[in-house]
């Protein structure tokens, strides 16, 4: 008989925590998971899923316009924000129910309360002390808000999903994927959008050609991008609207708007969890420091997902959760997760799909790289008359000819990159790409027909 109440106690019922719980239970472990909000976590409740639904909704504005070029005559369309949010909430509720059923079907005990670490083998859930041989932290991340005057009048993506009224004018602060995605959502649904970012270009960390191409495309759609700018204060006016003080390199200006949304990053949700007192080491942003198997500095405490401050993507958290459960209860060798060449997408408009190294990273690692790039008008735009261009790029190791990175901005980029991610992960060469017959007429065929190259790196001069 075990001396512990459970073999595994999970704090957080998001994607990583749910997967770890179910896999561990399938191995025969006694598992409990504590969740103080809603089952499903950031992705299902206030992240990837509702965001993608809103992205779909925002596309219809251009789709209706484009239809005219294809012979369709439409009456003037109308849009209802409350109806969209109600439909979104219904779907999120359905998915939450599925997650709950999966846990119940796996015989995982679900505690709808907040849990706090008491020591290496115990948690406090309310006034109850519950013991566990192993504890898994899967609490995800939380939006960061700066300390500026009037920040209490601003919102994050969390609140944006629940707005009762669509803002007619909105300022989105930030330049990462959440910022550009929501800028596209609100613009597509008819809001006037200003995007303020403190650096010289959006999407820091992405390939530079991707960054510049998307910046040009979203400007075409009417989004005002204020680079090298910061919001220094937000004031609520007597009529309920907001006034944001925007500081730029050359001057300052005031922006009257109906909402200010901050998308300036997310931090690991580790505050007041009792981790430090239990001896768990955290990084400078509060992320749990773990080894390749998800184990923290306390051998019985593990962590997966955004709370570890590594790659903040749902599929990564799921893989990490499964790996921890398999390592602990699978009966075999420890299982780690390979964090290299993880494909990702930005559901901007147009969207981005990317996998592997950027051009800059490839030069730093390999010394020399071959770059293949194409920029073209997609076929759909020929009859619609829309001024939109697609960009694709291959980054190739000049010596081995291995394709190190693939980047795309354009329609269906996330769907295309999922398949290309397999090729990059498998280490395919440019010659193998060249030997693959394209599917015509598609945008994706460009990925296997690019032949013109430029050399970058040590011998590029």
What's the chain look like in SS3? Answer: CCCCCEEEEEECCCHHHHHHHHHHHHCCCCEEEECCCCCCHHHHHHCHHHHHHHHHHHHHHHHHHHHHHHCCCCCCCCCCHHHHHHHHHHHHHHHHHHHHHHHHHCCCEEECCCEEEEECCEEEECCEEEEEEEEEECCCEEECCCCCCCHHHCECHHHHCCCCCCCCEEEEECCCHHHHHHHHHHHHCCCEEEEECCCCCCCCCCCHHHHHHHHHHHHHCCCEEECCEEEEEEEECCCCCEEEEEEECCCEEEEEECEEEECCCEEECCCCCCCCCCCCCECCCCCECCCCCCECCCCCEEECHHHHCCCCCHHHHHHHHHHHHHHHHCCCCCCCCCCCCCCEEECCCCCEEEEECCHHHHHHHHCEEEEEEEEECCCHHHHHCCCCCEEEEEEEECCCCEEEEEEEECCCHHHHHHHHHHHHHCCCEHHHHHCCCCCCCCCHHHHHCCCCEEEEECCCC
Question: 91 CB contacts (<8 Å, ≥6 apart)?
Answer: 49, 53
Long-range contacts, stretch 400-404, CB < 8 angstroms, 24+ apart: 400/429, 401/429, 401/430, 401/431, 402/427, 402/428, 402/429, 402/430, 403/356, 403/428, 403/429, 403/430, 403/433, 404/356, 404/357, 404/362, 404/365, 404/366, 404/369
Check if 339 is active-site.
no
The tokens of 352 are what? Answer: 């981005």
- Under 8 Å between Cβ of 173 and 151: no
Catalytic (active-site) positions: 440
């Amino acid at each position: 008989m075990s001396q512990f109440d459970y073999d595994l106690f999970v704090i957080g019922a998001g994607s990583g925590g749910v997967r770890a719980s179910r896999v561990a239970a399938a191995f025969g472990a006694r598992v409990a998971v504590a969740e103080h909000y809603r089952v499903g976590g950031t992705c299902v409740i206030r992240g990837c899923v509702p965001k993608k639904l809103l992205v779909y909704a925002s596309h219809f504005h251009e789709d209706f316009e484009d239809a005219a070029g294809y012979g369709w005559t439409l009456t003037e369309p109308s849009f209802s924000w409350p109806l969209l949010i109600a439909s979104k909430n219904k779907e999120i509720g359905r998915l939450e129910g599925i997650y709950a059923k999966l846990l119940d079907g796996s015989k995982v005990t679900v505690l709808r309360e907040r849990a706090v670490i008491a020591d290496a083998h115990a948690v406090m859930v309310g006034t109850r002390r519950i013991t566990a041989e192993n504890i898994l932290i899967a609490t995800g991340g939380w939006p960061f808000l700066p300390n500026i005057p009037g920040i209490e009048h601003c919102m994050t993506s969390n609140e944006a999903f629940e707005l009762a009224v669509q803002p007619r004018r909105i300022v989105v602060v930030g330049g990462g994927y959440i910022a550009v995605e929501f800028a596209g959502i609100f613009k597509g649904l008819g809001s006037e959008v200003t995007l303020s970012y403190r650096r010289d270009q959006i999407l820091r960390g992405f390939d530079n050609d991707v960054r510049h191409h998307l910046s040009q495309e979203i400007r075409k759609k009417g989004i005002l991008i204020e680079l090298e700018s910061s919001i220094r204060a937000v004031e609520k006016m007597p009529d309920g609207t907001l006034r944001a003080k925007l500081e730029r390199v050359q001057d300052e200006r005031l922006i009257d708007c109906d909402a200010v949304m901050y998308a300036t990053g997310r931090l690991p949700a580790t505050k007041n969890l009792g981790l430090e007192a239990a001896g768990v080491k955290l990084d400078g942003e509060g992320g749990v420091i773990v080894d390749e198997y998800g184990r923290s500095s306390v051998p019985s405490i593990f962590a997966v997902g955004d709370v570890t401050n590594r790659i903040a993507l749902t599929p990564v958290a799921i893989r990490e959760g499964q790996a921890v459960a398999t390592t602990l209860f699978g009966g075999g060798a420890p299982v780690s997760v390979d964090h290299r060449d993880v494909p990702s997408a930005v559901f901007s408009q147009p969207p981005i799909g990317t996998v592997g190294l950027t051009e800059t990273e490839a030069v730093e690692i390999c010394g020399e790289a071959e770059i293949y790039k194409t920029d073209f008008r997609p076929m759909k735009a020929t009859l619609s008359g829309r001024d939109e261009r697609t960009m694709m790029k291959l980054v190739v190791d000049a010596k081995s000819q291995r394709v190190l990175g693939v980047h795309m901005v354009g329609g269906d980029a996330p769907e295309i990159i999922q398949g290309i991610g397999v090729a990059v992960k498998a280490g395919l060469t440019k010659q193998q790409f060249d030997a693959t017959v394209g599917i015509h007429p598609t945008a994706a065929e460009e990925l296997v027909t690019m032949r013109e190259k430029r050399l970058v790196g040590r011998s590029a001069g």
